[in-house]
Amino acid sequence: MFQFDAGEILLIDKPHGWSSFDVVRHLKRHLRGAKVGHAGTLDPLATGLMLLCTGKWTRHLGQMGDYDKCYTGTLRLGLTTPCYDMERQPDAFYPIDHIRTEDVHAVVQQLTGDQLQIPPVFSAIKVDGKRSYKAARQGTAEALPPRAVTIYDLRVLAVELPDVHFEVHCSKGTYIRSLAHDWGRLLNSGAVLTSLRRTSIGAYRVEHAMAPNYIKALIEST
């Protein structure tokens, strides 16, 4: 029996096209006033695991935000966009004829381990109290400073040029869009993230998550 007011941890499988705020708002609508928060955002074009807490469990959100995360994804070589994914139109195109399958594998080692990663300007990072993506939409964003992240494991699942399918285990604060962008740069080309799915946060797995639209029926049954 769920006790949403007292506090619960909910594993949500975020659908494609939903923002993280959409998921929280959807839950709040059906919980009728219960406190709700999430332990880390997902981009609208990404799918997969989000951890949401209600009631007293929201006090643990900061700790949960520190958990490492795993993803599967696909990048496309030969182009870039301002946001490093397909939410915006391409801003440049690059050759890929020189790239071989073994080249894609060869740069993995450079992308693994402790990294200083530059986040995309289309991100929720605050600059002078303002979300960077808001300035980016207005064309006034400046490059964000690099931040320390760790890529614990990065594996190529398949190479179907121009697409590369991969899985990654990384620390908090890692932008997989930036990882894709850096991958393209190391191959003397460009790259953009075309799909992303978060499969785990700490010990929590997406296989145990529920769809947001299941929440209403769940709440009404309690």
Where are the domains positioned within the chain?
Answer: 7-66+202-220, 69-201
3 state SS for 157-185 = EEEECCEEEEEEEECCCCCHHHHHHHHHH
Active site residue 43: yes
- For residue 31, name the pLDDT band (cuts at 50, 70, 90): confident
Residue range 19-29: mean pLDDT, rounded: 88
pLDDT of residue 140: 59
Three-class DSSP category at 101 = helix
Q: In the predicted model, what is the mean pLDDT of the chain? A: 88
- Do 125 and 213 touch, CB atoms closer than 8 A? no
Model pTM score: 0.90
Catalytic residue among 13, 43, 85, 182: 43
Tell me, yes or no, if the two domains 7-66+202-220 and 69-201 fold the same way.
yes
Architecture of domain 69-201: 2-Layer Sandwich (3.30)
pLDDT of residue 191: 98
Residue range 55-64: mean pLDDT, rounded: 88
Q: Check whether 127 has a pLDDT greater than 90.
A: no
Furthest-apart CA atoms within the chain: distance in Å: 59
Tokens of 28: 């709040």
Integer angstrom CA distances of residue 91 from 77, 155, 200: 13, 28, 32
Integer angstrom CA distances of residue 15 from 26, 145, 171, 182: 12, 31, 23, 26
pLDDT of residue 4: 72
- Do 81 and 90 touch, CB atoms closer than 8 A? yes
Q: Sort 77 into a burial class: Cβ within 10 Å, 0-12 / 13-18 / 19+.
A: buried
pLDDT of residue 146: 86
pLDDT of residue 132: 54
Q: Check whether 159 has a pLDDT greater than 60.
A: yes
Q: Which helix (H) or strand (E) holds 131?
A: strand 130-131
- For residue 26, name the pLDDT band (cuts at 50, 70, 90): confident
Fold of 7-66+202-220: Pseudouridine synthase (3.30.2350)
Residue range 88-105: mean pLDDT, rounded: 96
- Do 174 and 147 touch, CB atoms closer than 8 A? no
